[in-house]
């Protein structure tokens, strides 16, 4: 009986591993579809000329961006 349970547990672990691999593959395929492949890269150098960004501005931006993720 214990041997049958061990096989079931091993089979279950193999299934979980295969599902994890499929999820990773799905994430990668979605990310590849979202990234622009042939678009020209726009450089933002000089866009913020004359603007001073303080540490408070950066921390406020981080709070705004990551407020729902808990980072």
pLDDT of res. 66: 76
- The 3-state DSSP class for residue 3 equals helix
**71 occurs within a structural domain:** no
**30 occurs within a structural domain:** yes
The torsion defined by the Cα of 28, 29, 34 and 39, in degrees rounded to 10, comes to 100
pLDDT of res. 71: 54
pTM (2 decimals)? 0.41
Q: Could you list the residue range(s) of the whole structural domain that residue 7 is in?
A: 2-66
**39 occurs within a structural domain:** yes
- Residues of the chain short of pLDDT 70, as ranges, are 1-6, 35-38, 69-71
Give how many domains the chain has, as a whole number. 1
pLDDT of res. 50: 82
């Amino acid at each position: 009986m214990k041997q049958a349970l061990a096989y079931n547990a091993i089979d279950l672990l193999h299934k979980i591993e295969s599902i994890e691999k499929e999820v990773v593959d799905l994430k990668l395929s979605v990310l590849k579809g979202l990234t622009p492949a042939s678009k020209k890269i726009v450089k933002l150098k000089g866009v913020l000329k004359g603007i001073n960004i303080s540490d408070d501005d950066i921390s406020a931006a981080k709070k705004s961006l990551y407020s729902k993720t808990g980072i």
